[in-house]
Amino acid sequence: MTDQPTSAKAVIRTAAMDDLPQIQAIYAHYVTAGAATFEIDPPDLAEMTRRFETLTGGGYPYIVAEVDGAVGGYAYAGPYRTRQAYRYTVEDSVYVSPDHVGLGLGRRLLEEIIRRCTEAGFRQMMAVISDDRNAASLHLHARCGFEHVGVLKNVGYKMGRWINRTVMQRPLGEGDRAEPSR
């Protein structure tokens, strides 16, 4: 895989342990500032490291957009559900630093996660988007080929209100048109 410059003069690359403090800071912002995630308290660096090691150790992609030596955003894919029949389906997560929103990093990160998951033999990608007010994430996923497949109504309570989760999905590679090969 070659690194790819983005419109924000970023390089999309595999995340490294050294990136985790910046990743943790970006995620902490989204935990405390809104409903993009249903976590209430930001995980500390040790917990973010555990999560990173679990995903990368399981063969799931975890990438960053590096802008001028700093992490401008990150994305990863992980298991959609843990039961064996779901093994060909992943769920994506994309977070862009508040300082880098609007520069196209989210799209580049999502496109790269889609590419890497397709190459790894996964067949479906799910996006479970917290808060139907999150128009940017809904639009990003639609632009990257995801279709709206449902809404989980009022399943989370955060910041003094009930919050929906929108479910979007897109096939990867041959999707469901053929038996999986891995």
CATH of the domain at 121: 3.40.630.30
Q: Please give the share of the chain, as a percent, with pLDDT higher than 70.
A: 95
Range of the domain at 67: 4-171
User: Are the C-beta atoms of residues 147 and 162 closer than 8 Å to each other?
Assistant: no
- What is the rounded distance in angstroms from the CA atom of residue 35 to the CA atom of residue 13? 27
* Beta partners for residue 157, in sequence order: 162
* Confidence (pLDDT) at 4: 43
In a domain, residue 159? The reply is: yes
Q: Would residue 181 count as lying in a domain?
A: no
Q: Is the model's pLDDT at 137 over the cut of 90?
A: yes
- pLDDT score of 132 more than 80: no
> Per the domain annotation, does 182 fall within a domain?
no
Q: Quick check: is 121 in a domain?
A: yes
Q: What is the mean pLDDT of residues 20-46?
A: 97
- Count structural domains, the chain: 1
Looking at residues 13-34, what average pLDDT do you find?
Answer: 97
What does the mean pLDDT of the chain come to?
A: 94
Give me the pLDDT at residue 128, please.
97
Would 111 be classed as within a structural domain? Answer: yes
Distance, in Å, from the CA atom of 132 to the CA atom of 63, rounded to the nearest integer, reads 25
What is the pTM assigned to this prediction?
0.93
**For residue 118, is it within any domain?**
yes
- Give yes or no for a contact between 65 and 109, defined as CB atoms under 8 angstroms apart: yes
11 in a structural domain: yes
